[in-house]
């Protein structure tokens, strides 16, 4: 079948994206890594860059779990026992012991009755929100929520969609009051930690508002939180934005195995009835293969490490490295945002400046991500640094030395 018309249209669209500065372009190919040594953390080798070692500051591997030998060994052992992949969706081919064990461990870690796994956190939020929405549901969302939440709302087609200004509790309350006049169910949905900025939702106050307005809705006002960047990176024991804000347990908590836990996959924890309902109605669960048994075993091991004295030590080191880097940025005259999360934005507020700084850091062997409109709002262009427990004081200082060459205070 000829496709010349289609390919011409797609090529035109690609040219438009490039002209608007929205083309992501060629992906970096990592061909290996050099283990930590001599006071330095791991270094990464990039295709086309020879043996030049790069410091990776653009990964979500907040606790360094993906390189821990115990986690890798757990995956290898499970792959040897259960095979490389699951072979079918769970309701057809059955499930595997590592999946059940991980779901039970996740429920216990979050102190919830039940948990279920998804192939990714993106699939989890897309698979959780639409089944909970009816033609009498209001969805109320923070304006800076992640793309997965935005798309989940579009897929859900609620009776009402209300967007409140970023962490503006006064506007959230007004949304609840208005929705209570016409809807039977309200779902407040928010990121726990906002991935572009590293700031967090005030979950304690959100839960307070949900409970205050619950009586206005015959089917309750519930709170759904995607805390993929919070779990394992925020809170005294790594339990995320709930712990950090001392919030009551939110009604439905979605998170990931692919960031702080260093593996792959997503999950949701909630009341047992909610989980049973989602197992029956969520197409991204019912009709998608689960993560592999090896990945489930590796995530279980990573969670055990997090929930131990070793995990507390990793979290303490992560906080120390984050504070060291933020203090260094401020000293150099760069603008950043307050907070303890290891996502550290360097605000450039200019697309050309973002691209220039990103290229400079690449030349100095530092991998970062530059973010410009429309990924972030206009005039909030930034370079997103992501600190890891893999990073050492020498790593942090090396990145700051590279930035010092182009710093406002240089």
Structure tokens at 404: 């010092």
Catalytic annotation on 391? no
Which residues, 6+ apart, have CB-to-CB distance to 209 below 8 Å?
A: 169, 172, 173, 176, 188
Among residues 100, 408, 136, 29, which one has the least CA distance to residue 275? 100
Q: How far is CA 213 from CA 164, 178, 254, in A?
A: 16, 11, 23
Terminal CA-to-CA distance of the chain, rounded, Å? 60
What are the helix (H) ranges across 189-308? 203-213, 241-245, 272-281, 283-286, 293-306
Task: Spell out the long-range contacts of 280-287 with Cβ–Cβ below 8 A and sequence spacing 24 or more.
Answer: 281/131, 282/127, 282/128, 282/131, 283/127, 284/118, 284/119, 284/123, 284/124, 284/126, 284/127, 285/90, 285/116, 285/118, 285/123, 285/127, 286/89, 286/91, 287/89
In this structure, what are the phi and psi dihedrals at residue 289, rounded to the nearest 5 degrees? -60, 145
Catalytic annotation on 229? yes
Q: CA–CA separation, 7 vs 3, rounded Å?
A: 6
Q: CA–CA separation, 133 vs 375, rounded Å?
A: 27
Catalytic annotation on 317? no
**Residue 115 CB-half CA count within 13 A:** 25
CA angle 60, 339, 205 (to 5 degrees): 100
Residue with tokens 């606790």: 63
Q: Which one of the listed residues 229, 300, 317, 326 is annotated catalytic? A: 229
Q: Which one of the listed residues 66, 120, 195, 388 is annotated catalytic? A: 195
Among residues 147, 127, 154, 121, which one has the least CA distance to residue 284? 127
Q: Which one of the listed residues 259, 317, 326, 341 is annotated catalytic? A: 259
Q: Tell me whether strands 252-256 and 221-226 are parallel, antiparallel or unpaired.
A: parallel
Neighbours of 18 (CB within 10 A): 11
Q: How far is CA 232 from CA 125, 318, 319, in A?
A: 18, 10, 12
Catalytic residues: 195, 229, 259
């Amino acid at each position: 079948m000829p496709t010349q018309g289609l390919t011409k249209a797609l090529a035109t669209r690609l040219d438009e994206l490039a002209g608007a500065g929205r083309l992501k372009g060629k992906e970096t190919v990592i061909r290996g890594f050099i283990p930590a040594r001599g006071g330095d953390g791991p270094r990464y080798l990039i295709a086309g860059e020879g043996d030049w070692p790069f410091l990776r500051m653009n990964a979500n591997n907040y606790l360094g779990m993906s390189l821990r030998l115990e986690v890798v060994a757990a995956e290898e052992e499970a792959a040897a026992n259960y095979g490389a992949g699951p072979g079918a969706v769970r309701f057809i081919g059955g499930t595997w012991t590592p999946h059940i064990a991980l779901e039970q461990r996740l429920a216990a870690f979050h102190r919830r009755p039940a948990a279920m796994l998804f192939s990714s956190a993106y699939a989890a939020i897309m698979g959780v929100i639409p089944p909970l929405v009816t033609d009498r549901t209001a969805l109320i969302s923070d304006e800076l929520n992640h793309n997965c939440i935005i798309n989940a709302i579009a897929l859900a087609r609620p009776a009402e969609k209300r967007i409140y200004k970023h962490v503006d509790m006064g506007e959230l309350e007004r949304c609840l009051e208005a929705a209570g006049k016409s809807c039977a169910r309200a779902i407040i949905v928010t990121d726990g930690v906002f991935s572009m900025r590293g700031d967090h939702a005030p979950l304690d106050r959100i839960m307070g508002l949900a409970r205050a307005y619950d009586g206005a809705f015959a089917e309750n006002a519930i709170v759904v939180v995607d805390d993929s960047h919070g779990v394992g990176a925020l809170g005294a024991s790594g339990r995320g934005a709930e712990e950090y804000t001392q919030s009551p347990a939110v009604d439905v908590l979605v998170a990931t195995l692919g960031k702080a836990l260093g593996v792959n996959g997503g999950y949701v924890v909630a009341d047992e009835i909610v989980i049973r309902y989602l197992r029956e109605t969520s197409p991204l669960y019912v009709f998608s293969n689960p993560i592999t048994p090896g990945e489930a075993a590796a995530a279980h091991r990573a969670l055990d490490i997090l929930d131990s004295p070793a995990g507390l030590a990793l979290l303490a080191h992560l906080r120390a490295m984050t504070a060291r880097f933020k203090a260094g940025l401020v000293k150099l005259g760069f603008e950043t945002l307050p907070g303890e999360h290891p996502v550290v934005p360097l605000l450039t507020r200019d697309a050309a400046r973002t691209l220039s700084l990103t290229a400079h850091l690449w030349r100095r062997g530092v991998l970062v991500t530059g973010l410009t409109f429309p990924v972030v709002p206009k005039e909030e262009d930034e370079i997103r640094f992501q600190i890891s427990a893999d990073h050492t004081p020498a790593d942090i200082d090396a990145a700051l030395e590279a930035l010092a060459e182009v710093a406002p205070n240089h």
